Structure 1
Amino acid sequence: MKLYEQMRKAHEREQLSIHELARRFHVHRRDVRQALASPVPPERKRAERPAPSLDRWKPTIDEWLAADRLAPRKQRHTARRVWQRLTEEHGAQLGESTVRRYVAEVRRRMDVPLVEVMVPQHHPLGEEAEVDFGTASVILAGIPVDVSMFIMRLSASGRGYARAYLNECQEVFLDGHVRAFEHYGGVPKRIRYDNLKAAVVRVLKGRDRIESDRFIALRSHYRFDSFFCLPGIKGSHEKGGVEGEVGRFRRRHMVPVPRVNSMAELNDLLMAGAAKDDRRFIDQRRITVAEHFALEADTLRALPAEGFDVSVVGSHRVDRKSRVSVRGCLYSVPAERVGKRLDVRV
């Protein structure tokens, strides 16, 4: 590097020719031309050393070293033992140093861990959203309570919607969708889910699901498609956007632990946090979430003219004390209903 610098300076200041520079610095004219063309010397090419004597034994060595993975740790082949076996058992005419170099190369290949690689996703505007529930702790009317947060996140703009509930029952799941769609002023074409009980009755093989009737009605009403992730850790990356959004929203807007007097006050706090998030930048984007959503809003499907009824109807039997049990709570009904089943709308 320093020699290249000296040649370049001498050529510029003294106007020396290539022949004169080669004679002064005792280098070949080819090196002078390279120095004048670039201040950085070209990378030296390493010649591949042929090993015709070793080539026929490489599969044997590979097999031995692969089998070592199942052998006791203190009874595995060393490079010297590999060389000894080749010469003693197979009559190979090889130098020990040649075998050592190849054994080291094989072990480097075998020691490289297979790392699972994730590819960043980019979504067309209005094409997709993700839904999930997360839990958070709050002080509600002076009592510590764990609440469930319904989170929907538009995959393209990254705009999120959060609402807190006291449980994750089906009508909460439905109500979260209705409010999120109204918040966005439209509906994405497809929504990703994990296997929530509010939507999935049974998980079948692959991506097949038996879905609940109320979820099918919601999907039909708003005309969006659903996509269910694989169960367990394998499917967690398939909706990584909302998975990260749950934790980020909780850390950003619920630390310290909120103290509120009602769920309405808590949800007002969450809406204020969502409005603040509209001004943030995601990753390396040059526009804010709000500016990105302004581009996405026109690509969302229009809301239906009629609203969706989120209530769930269930059939319950009246006991001998003229009561029905609905989610652990007992309600009195007229005595003539004893022993009969009633439809209860929640």
Structure 2
Amino acid sequence: METRMELFARIRRDARIEGCSIRQLARRHQVGRATVRMALAQAEPPPRKIPVRCSPKLDPFKAAIDAMLTTDIDAPRKQRHTARRILARLADEHGAQHLSYSTVRDYVRVRRAQIDVEAGRRIEVFVPQEHAPGAEAEVDFGEVWVILAWVKTKCHMFAFRLSHSGKSVHRVYSTQGQEAFLEGHIAAFEEIGGVPTRHIRYDNLTSAVQKVIYGQSRARVENQRWVLFRSHFGFDPFYCQPGISGAHEKGGVEGEVGRFRRNRLSPMPVVDSLDELNEKVRGWDAADDGRRINDRIRTVG
């Protein structure tokens, strides 16, 4: 059965490749025009609305729970209230005999974080990233050394990594200029048979970004050749925040550069040309399709 994301991808492709109107797209895919407009506006379908559950039995005791959590701000870490301890105190001190543990636990988990933020204890929270299949990718360059025509030469490895599966494509170039940057993308798109449906994550590489507009947004002044390239292939960029604040935003590909360099380029490969090296890299990428990341059931390929 086709997923909503796959439907959005087909609508966007038909609009981009065939230039279909909204009416034609709605008729072809048997959806409403509002759905077509939504697909054209963004590659990822909006999340389904989850109804907010109320807990009327807990309402009379929320003030007491908040007071307990507030006292935890100055308490030693190992002597703070757990949800189970809060439930016991509510039963003993407030006569709350009919509350379930799960109701208290869910409220405490959310409210504790809010109180910590209000008190300045929790400035920033990093949430593990989850990625839909084929939706996102990451791109980066890494330095590598090669014995090229019997000369030790510094080169630059382009790495493209699918965020969901970990499938990666690598190519080695003499520079990390825009030509290599674009050629690496083309090689990756040919290898995976398409482009990510949501976006590709980048540092603020000069091949793509001319100027970073600092502030709360991720606005960038982009290189016009790069704009034409991504418009032609039909994908969107996601630019990470400069400096350490954006280091976690594309950690997958940075780790992949190190993994590939340690496992495939140590010791330094000895080749007569970069074409010869990249032919070996293609073979290594194909072999890596059978590997598993950590304890995942599926292989990356």
Task: Settle same-fold status: TM greater than 0.5.
Answer: yes
Q: Which of 153, 172, 176 matches 2:161?
A: 153
Distance 1:277 1:177 in 2: 19
Q: In structure 1, how many angstroms separate the alpha carbons of the residues matched to 2:290 and 2:279?
A: 18
Equivalent in the alignment of 1:198:
207
1:119 deviates by: 3.4
Residue matched to 2:245: 234
| Aligned counterparts of 2:189 and 2:210: Cα–Cα separation in 1 | 24
Query: How much does 1:117 deviate?
Result: 6.1
Higher Cα Rg: structure 1 or 2? 1
Following superposition, the deviation at residue 219 of structure 1 comes to 1.0
Q: Match of 2:177?
A: 169
Residue 208 (structure 1) aligned with residue 219 (structure 2): yes
Residue-by-residue CA offset, 1:48-99 (whole Å, 9 max, x unaligned): xxxxxxxxxx9xxx9xxxxxxxxxxxxxxxxxxxxxxxxxxxxxxxxxxxxx
Q: Distance in 2 between matches of 1:281 and 1:126?
A: 17
- How far off is 1:114 after superposition? 7.6
Specify the SS of the correspondent of 2:130: coil
Letter in 1 for 2:163: S
2:277 matched to which residue of 1? Answer: 266
Alignment of 1:50-61 (within 5 A): none
For residues 115 and 158 of structure 1, the distance between their equivalents in structure 2, rounded to whole angstroms, comes to 30
Is 2:151 aligned against 1:143?
yes
Unmatched runs of 5 consecutive residues or more in structure 2:
1-70, 75-120
Instruction: Give the length in aligned residue pairs.
Output: 180
Q: What does the per-residue CA deviation read over 1:294-345, in whole Å, with 9 as the maximum and x for residues that have no partner?
A: xxxxxxxxxxxxxxxxxxxxxxxxxxxxxxxxxxxxxxxxxxxxxxxxxxxx
TM-score (norm 2): 0.57
Over the aligned positions, Cα root-mean-square deviation in angstroms equals 1.9
Distance change (3 Å), C-alpha of 1:261 and 1:229: same
Percent identity for Structure 1 against Structure 2:
53
Uncovered stretches (5+) of structure 1, i.e. residues with no partner: 1-57, 63-112, 291-346
- Alpha-carbon separation, structure 2, partners of 1:210 and 1:263: 33
**1:257–1:114: structure 2 CA closer, same or farther, 3 Å change rule?**
farther
| 1:7-52 per-position Cα deviation (integer Å, ceiling 9, x unaligned) | xxxxxxxxxxxxxxxxxxxxxxxxxxxxxxxxxxxxxxxxxxxxxx
**Alignment partner of 1:250 out of 234, 255, 261:** 261
- Deviation, 1:204, is 0.7
Deviations for 1:255-311, whole angstroms, at most 9, x for unmatched residues?
111111110111112111111211111122111112xxxxxxxxxxxxxxxxxxxxx
List, as ranges, runs of 4+ consecutive aligned residues in structure 1 with deviation greater than 2 Å.
Answer: 113-120
